[in-house]
Structure 1
Amino acid sequence: MKYYRMDALWQVTGKRMHLGENVKEIEIMENDFNSKLENLYKVFKPYYISGNLRERSCECCVTNEEIKLLLSKQLKDLSEDDIGHFMRSAITTFGEISDYKHFLPRILELLSFQNSTIIDDFLTFEKLNYGEWETWNEDEIVVVKEYLESLWYIVINNEKSTYYQIENVLEIIAKYIGMKKALKIWEGSTADKSVEYIVDFVLNGLSMDVGKKNKQYFLKWLHSKKVLSMMENVYFKDIDFDFSKRLSITYTILERDYEE
């Protein structure tokens, strides 16, 4: 997956992300994202690696070299390769819940980095449920939810986001935040590409693994007046002929099954 952490974006690309045309709105989104990221680190700061991590890790599954690598850098400097094994094996064979909470802010931050493959790693994201995150302290639950919501907002407003990115981030949001909340954020997108994703979903089919209930909710939303209005707004803009044709076909399909 290709993401850019907001404060690292200019260093990587030398330019702003394509997040619509309103510069002020882009600035607000960037500031919100960075604020949510900072809150993650702040709330989970009390958790640190105490004692001997070797004693809390499986002798057969985790090597001394992997532990040394994991502890060799500051939390914010850990790369996906440095922390990869821990992300997939945390709590079960690599450390305990307090260790997982220590590294969690960095794991979630890596979602926003270019070329990240974490986003579609099933084991990584099942760790939240395995760790019974909904039973954690209220402030911990809140910052995780707020960060994921902000990440989704950035992705759905990014003109450079791909179908693959939208699909995977939406799966995570639906799982941990709820499909209803995810679609509400989608409705607020100002990027033309957010409508193009809808066109792709309708014409190419829904391949997301979001569960039967969420899938039914999503399909119902596709046929709503709100979605039709979003498509109308884009159609009357200066868009290329091919997209306008695909958009028109999609609109006709959805309008036919429109639900009040």
Structure 2
Amino acid sequence: MTGLRNLITGLPDAFAAAPRPARVEGCPCCTSPAGPDALLRTPRERLGPEELAHYAGAVLDTVGSPADLRYFAPRILQLLLTGELACPELESFCLKLARASWQDWPEAPYLRRLFHALWQDVLGDGEEWWDAEAVLCAVAAADPATVEPALAEWARLATPTAVERLHEFLLHSGTEPRNAFWDRRAPGYRAFTDWLCDPVLLAAVEEAVHRTENPAHLEQLFTVHAVLETQRHRPAR
């Protein structure tokens, strides 16, 4: 996780040029003026989950704007990716980043590196508990163009962790994504469902079987293969 950890730590410096808002507007029916403005009385890097949870969940709906989201985004991402902030989910927050047009921000290249490192960590670090589908859904929400490269990387099954993540997903969901934050009309969702049914993935699993000697990993691969093979022979709906 070293590369990802360094990027998480570096978020405040990467967003150093993001202007601090003079105030944070909120819906008068849903938010007291003292709530959003209280965020500005504490240095951004010292804001904790208690202060940011409501804003992070409600921003662009009943509070805040794209401009102040840019200012608070690095701290919210730090808390989400270290597990200190449990709500909103990462998928939900990435949807908000997309609504705020984060790819037009000067910090966009840094965020792309962060999302790439996050996915690499999902596939490569067995000591970190990541829900692969949740992270893929979040990445798809933030930047749909990254989904197919992410799936191609997963299909390589280059690490025991990549095999374990696929095994976990298929045991839990079969070949139908179940994360509630997927937009089933979006290209990212369609790319994922197509990938799960693609003979190329089945062939990649078979190739991984031939190069794997660890009995536990082989058992996972055999299970993955069985689930994918069953799906291949299932009648089309």
Show the counterpart of 1:42. 13
Count how many residue pairs are aligned between Structure 1 and Structure 2.
220
2:102 corresponds, among 97, 114, 133, to 133
Q: Is contact 1:223–1:255 with CA below 8 Å preserved after alignment?
A: no
Q: How many angstroms does 1:108 deviate by?
A: 1.4
- Which letter maps to 2:203? K
For residue 250 of structure 1, what is the amino acid of its counterpart? V
Residues 109-164 of structure 1: per-residue CA shift (max 9 Å, x gap):
22221354246366433211221233x14x4222222111111211222224457x
Does the 8 A contact of 1:174 with 1:214 survive in 2? no
Matched, 1:90 2:59: yes
Q: Secondary structure at the match of 1:70?
A: helix
Structure 1 runs (4+) greater than 6 angstroms displaced: none
Contact 1:33 1:147 in 2 (8 A): yes
Change in Cα spacing, 1:200 to 1:77, as seen in structure 2 (3 Å) is same
One of 199, 202, 221 as aligned partner of 1:247: 221
- Aligned AA for 1:36? L
How well do the aligned residues superpose, as a CA RMSD in angstroms? 3.2
2:83 matched to which residue of 1?
A: 114
TM (norm. structure 2) is 0.75
State the partner residue of 2:208: 230
1:199 aligns with 2:164: no
Counterpart AA for 1:216: T
Who is 2:193 aligned against? 216
Which of 168, 172, 179 does residue 134 from structure 2 map onto?
168
Q: 1:91 to 1:49 in 2, by over 3 A?
A: farther
Instruction: State the AA in 2 paired with 1:172.
Output: A
TM-aligned CA distance change 1:196 to 1:210, over 3 Å: farther
The DSSP-based 3-state class of the residue aligned with 2:107 is helix
Unaligned stretches of 5+ residues in structure 1: 1-28
Q: Distance in 2 between matches of 1:247 and 1:97?
A: 44
Letter aligned with residue 142 of structure 1: P
Which residue is 2:125 aligned to? 158
Kindly state the Cα deviation for residue 92 of structure 1 after the two structures are TM-superposed: 3.9
Q: Does the C-alpha gap of structure 1 residues 232 and 83 become closer, same or farther in structure 2, counting only changes over 3 Å?
A: farther
Shift, 1:74, TM fit: 2.3
Q: Which residue of 1 aligns with 2:148?
A: 180
Query: Identity over aligned residues, as a percent?
Result: 20
- Measured after TM superposition, the shift of residue 171 of structure 1 is 0.7
